[in-house]
Amino acid sequence: MKKIVVVGAVGGGATVAGQIRFYDKDAKITVFDRDSTMSYAACGTPYVIGGVIEDTESLLMADPEQFKEKRNIDVWLEHEVMEINRAEKSVLVKNLKTGECFHEPYDFLILSPGGSAMVPALDGLASTDHFVLRSFGDMERIMSYIEQTQPSSCAVSGAGFIGIEMAENLKNLGLHVQMVHKSSHVMSILDPDISNQVLAELKSNGVVVHTNSVITKADQKELLLSTGQKLHADFLILSTGLKPNTELAEKAGLPIGETGGIITNEFMQTADPSIYALGDASENTDFVTGGAKRVPLASPAHRQAFIAAQHLTGHAIPKTGLLGTSIVKVFALDVAMTGLNERSLIEKGLLYETVLLKGNSNAGYYPDHSEITLKVHFNPETRKILGAQCIGSKGVDKRIDVLATAMYAGLAIEDLQALELCYAPPYSSPKDPINMVGYKAISNQKGTNA
């Protein structure tokens, strides 16, 4: 009987434990997490804060009692794994309530420790009410603060995924929201022309955005920017990046990669074949380039959990690399992406061309349609798709999902014109925007107008 220990009980950890039990009915599975909640939908926390999701408990997918009863898996919350003894194949665990420490043996160890919000060393930060959003407890603290103090304004530092979602949800609560972002473009993962549309949407909804700026000093409700400008904010949300929790792996001598994650092979094994790593703290490979890539999102973590569980139970299914497919809601707009952006293509010295299509999400004569911008990068020699972005109010996810599938399938950009996609006026056009990208690529190759 295998003895399996899992570190981390949120998305990746809880999923891999459940997957292993599905394929191995006899293994002894024990999960440790230093938090007080497990298996919660972290991606939903901004929307609970904003009141879009009214039932806070709906984010809790399971608890230790359910895991024990339904899956015969032992989950110990508020228990932190302090050390890994690879020679003895055991972990040192600390009960955070009592301070008691004990050793837990394992045959296989799975690390899913997640990541921690990066908090800048900001002068005067302690004098300012400030929060990060990385856990269920963080969400509860923000909600409690808003309920008790009834603030009228907030500053959000960082305009990435969480920063954008928090800005929208705090604005929906009626707060005056200002964003501070060190780059010249919000959502720096996007190409500048797509990012500019996100910026315009933020501004049109009353969010004040300060780009090319960082907060250099905090003095209670006054924030000083690197530009010399001063902002007033009742509280501050820090969304300036994520640091993978690799300390445990580092102390155990497991190699850390160039992205800061624990290096894994195609089966999510670390340099120690009896130890796997997945989720935010694991380093994987880029589907397009084959280089190192780390994608701290829920979907890759769930896929990695499946791969690790399959391999551990004798069914080897190698991972195929990461595209970083993702989407975010920005008030009335949706923006999604997959693969490489222009900056990455240039930095890696890759040859590329771009098809830019502006059209409608569905039939223009149908009352409910949206203008969308679809941007697709491809290799002009191999014709393989390298990356794509899409923005609009409808049908954005559909287009990027099709393109991500096309990339995994190895389709050439011209092949997009041949895809038989569903059509009715409320949903698309006889020639979907995806088809039109393929037609346009053919026209451009022939030197004619699309």
Active site residues: 43
Residue type, 32: F
Find all residues with CB under 8 Å of 69, minimum gap 6, and list them.
none
User: How many helices (H) and strands (E) in the chain?
Assistant: 11, 26
Closest CA to 110 of 265, 250, 247, 5: 5
Contact 268, 282 (CB under 8 A): yes
3-state secondary structure of 61: coil
Find all residues with CB under 8 Å of 283, minimum gap 6, and list them.
256, 257, 258, 259, 260, 261, 262, 263, 264, 292, 293, 294
Please give the Cα distance from 48 to 434 (Å, whole number): 34
Q: What does the block give as tokens for 301?
A: 């973590």
Contact 63, 57 (CB under 8 A): no
3-state secondary structure of 433: helix
Please give the Cα distance from 266 to 261 (Å, whole number): 15
3-state secondary structure of 192: helix
SS (H, E, C) 15-50: HHHHHHHHHCCCCEEEEEECCCCCCECHHHHHHHHC
Bin 244: left if φ > 0, else alpha if -120 < ψ < 50, else beta. beta
Contact 271, 277 (CB under 8 A): no
CA distances from 104 to 3, 75, 81 (A): 10, 13, 9
